[in-house]
Amino acid sequence: MPPSEASPAAHLPLRPVEFEILLTLAHGERHGYAILQETEARSEGALHLETGTMYRALRRLVQGGLVAPTERRPLDGSDDERRRYYAVTPLGLRVASAEAARMARLVSAARAARLLPHPAVP
């Protein structure tokens, strides 16, 4: 049973690596290598995740109950037996949303401070 931190706020703020991992996992289960690949691809090369750091962050997320390792395997049987998948938990989703909201507030604050241009209103 993962430790149940009832309130997502207790997990905030997330480290950037952790937020990136949650963002990636929000699309579905991934193994570690896939998480690394996708995260780097999403940032279009702007972010370079160190492999070990990513795996450690992943474990911290598991320990916090935001991510759960699963033993489910793809049904086509093509997969390697040793592969370990990770999935975001409902709590992890709520934490990620809360973190996104927090960032959105930061962004609007940055706009208010004229640090960012206002988005073009369509």
End-to-end CA distance of the chain: 48
Q: Binding to another protein by residue 87, rule CB under 8 A?
A: no
Can residue 63 be called a binding residue for another protein (CB under 8 A)? yes
Quote the CA–CA distance of 92 and 113 in Å, as a whole number: 31
Shortest reach from residue 40's CB to another protein, in Å: 12
Q: Among the candidate windows 10-18, 19-27, 77-85, 111-119, which touches another protein by CB under 8 A? A: 77-85
Rule CB under 8 A: say whether 98 interacts with another protein. Answer: no
Q: Which two tokens stand for residue 25?
A: 């996992």
- Scanning 11-19, 44-52, 92-100, 113-121 for contacts with another protein by CB under 8 A, the matching segment is 44-52
d(C-alpha 23, C-alpha 18), whole Å: 9
